[in-house]
Structure 1
Amino acid sequence: MKKILGCSLLFISQLVLAETPNTVLSKSIDKAMLTSFAPTGTLRVGINLGNPVLAGSIDQSAPQPKGVTIDIAHEIGRRSGLPVELVSFKSAGATVEALKANQLDLIFVAIDPVRGADISYTPAYIQIEGAYMVKTSSPIQSNEEVDAAGNEIVVGNASAYDLYLKREIKKATLLRSINSQSVVDDFMSGKGNVAAGVKQQLEADSKRYSNVRMLPGRFMVIHQAMGVPKSRAEFEKITLYLSNLVAELKTSGFIANSMKKHGIEGAKVAE
């Protein structure tokens, strides 16, 4: 297996060959665009294991990660004729940095204007919710009460929620955990008085503790999309190709079926 530098890297999966051989590419695909899209000849796809809506962490019984993003990555490989290499990270921020360093060709990430300086996005394929968790004894009862002087919000460093809250929070203080998976454990160990993150992640983590509760509703809607580096010569054509693919995968039911297969709840196919 190839190695990519970076402490955030968990592993590089075994090379997954697309079902369509490289020699049988569709005539409708621009070969110059494909060369720009995957300059090494292999489509290197960043997988964020920090968001359970997108991908599930691996275990000994499942040497490959599973999830909606993995299904989409394989479908891109099948249609384009490119072999796909899945590269897994603990956080979205780590995938963004790897993309900017030209270690990846494609990532699945929340649409954010800050990241957009370097990343060209497709339209969203999934919408998920950002939510807050507090301890049972907390006086905070609603999302609107969180942004108050003295409150400290624990959030995964460089996550979509971190970027959003950095812009929106005016009075409370943000405390960063190393990644989204660490937020609740840090929170329960005494860091901050509010935890923020993917609603599904917080709900799953809450089952490990008896003295926490979710605040009702959501504080943001996250639009998950595919992103490619703007540094590529053909990035506009690549984005258009992927955008058309996203539209087809949504209307055909591919994404909805993938979500159902992986038991994803609390998220929906983007409109």
Structure 2
Amino acid sequence: MTIDSATVEAFAPTGTLRASINLGNPILANRDAQSGEPIGVSVDLAHAFAQCVGVPLELVVFDAAGKSVEAVSDGRADFGFFAVDPKRGETIAFTAPYVLIEGFYLVRDASPIRNNADVDRPHHRVAVGKGSAYDLFLTRELKTATIVRAPTSPAVVPTFLEQELEVAAGVKQQLEADAAKTSGLRLLDERFMVIRQAMGVARSRGETAAATLRDFVEAMKRNGFVAEALERHRIAGASLAPLE
């Protein structure tokens, strides 16, 4: 990709390209067990985009999606990696998704909840990560159940257990990993949403910046970069999004 000087300035006004990285979604970003440095598909994409822009990269790391969105919206970071959502779209210009991830519900073995339709009941409390895609989606979709917001997505199952809630909602793989540590838990059989993971830039940076980021994502899907990153990081349960 060829990026002109005006677009470089729009993306990196400080001279360094600051990428907002959310560690609350372990499918896309995590910390290396030995070095402690951020690793993952989104980190790889951040490095690749910085190479295209031709400026140094700085990773601005957060533990929750909401914080990551806020950093890009208010200019503390220059771009980021988010689940597409209309509320976030008020301030963020999204690319097409590069990865698709499934959202599931977790309940106790003894729970009478057997399918997704059983969740939205007046006496049910659903744990979600504050500001996550699941929080935003379920806030719109659930009409009678009560949403209980854990501080981060990895804290959802601990909150569900500690407060003796009826349901936990989140990334399927995160819920499965947490359930494996505690007996007596099960996932419902069907997903309640598909999360469209995309890159995004503040709308205030202009349409040219947004279009450049969109073109970058499509190029990374087309040339196999995203698929190779998913394989390299041994990511299961997430699929490459189709070209758009």
TM (norm. structure 2) is 0.96
Counterpart among 187, 193, 203 of residue 160 in structure 2 = 187
Amino acid aligned to 1:53: I
Counterpart among 112, 117, 120 of residue 144 in structure 1 = 117
Moved more, 161-170 or 188-197: 188-197
- What do the CA deviations read for 1:140-191 (whole angstroms, capped 9, x no partner)? 1111111112111010111000000000001111111111011100111134
- 2:129 aligned with 1:156: yes
Residues of 1 paired with 2:174 and 2:107: CA distance?
Answer: 14
Counterpart among 35, 44, 67 of residue 18 in structure 2 = 44
* Aligned alpha-carbon RMSD (Å): 1.1
Residues of 1 paired with 2:74 and 2:217: CA distance?
Answer: 25
Counterpart among 237, 244, 249 of residue 220 in structure 2 = 249
Residues of 1 paired with 2:145 and 2:117: CA distance?
Answer: 12
2:204 partner SS: coil
Amino acid aligned to 2:189: P
Matches within 5 A, 1:1-271: 28-59=2-33, 61-232=34-205, 235-271=206-242
Residues of 2 paired with 1:43 and 1:136: CA distance?
Answer: 47
Amino acid aligned to 2:214: S
Structure 2 residues without counterparts, runs of 5 or longer: none
2:121 partner SS: coil
Q: Is the 8 A contact 1:56 1:66 kept in 2?
A: yes
Q: Say which structure is richer in helix.
A: 2
- What do the CA deviations read for 1:232-263 (whole angstroms, capped 9, x no partner)? 2xx21111111111111111111011001101
2:39 partner SS: coil
Residues of 1 paired with 2:204 and 2:51: CA distance?
Answer: 25
Residues of 1 paired with 2:216 and 2:73: CA distance?
Answer: 23
Structure 1: which 4+ aligned runs deviate by more than 2 Å?
none
Q: Is the 8 A contact 2:200 2:213 kept in 1?
A: no
TM (norm. structure 1) is 0.87
- What do the CA deviations read for 1:99-151 (whole angstroms, capped 9, x no partner)? 12210001100111011111111111011011100011111111111111211
1:52 partner SS: coil
Amino acid aligned to 2:195: I
Q: Is the 8 A contact 2:71 2:77 kept in 1?
A: yes
Q: What displacement does 1:32 show?
A: 0.5
Number of positions where the alignment pairs a residue of Structure 1 with one of Structure 2: 242
Q: Is the 8 A contact 2:203 2:210 kept in 1?
A: no
1:7 corresponds to which residue? none
Structure 1 residues without counterparts, runs of 5 or longer: 1-25
Residues of 1 paired with 2:173 and 2:81: CA distance?
Answer: 17
Q: What displacement does 1:63 show?
A: 3.3
2:200 partner SS: strand
Residues of 1 paired with 2:46 and 2:35: CA distance?
Answer: 17
Q: Is the 8 A contact 1:154 1:191 kept in 2?
A: no
- What do the CA deviations read for 1:26-48 (whole angstroms, capped 9, x no partner)? 7x311101101110010000110
Residues of 2 paired with 1:32 and 1:50: CA distance?
Answer: 33
Residues of 2 paired with 1:155 and 1:197: CA distance?
Answer: 7
Once the two structures are aligned, what percentage of the paired residues are identical?
Answer: 47
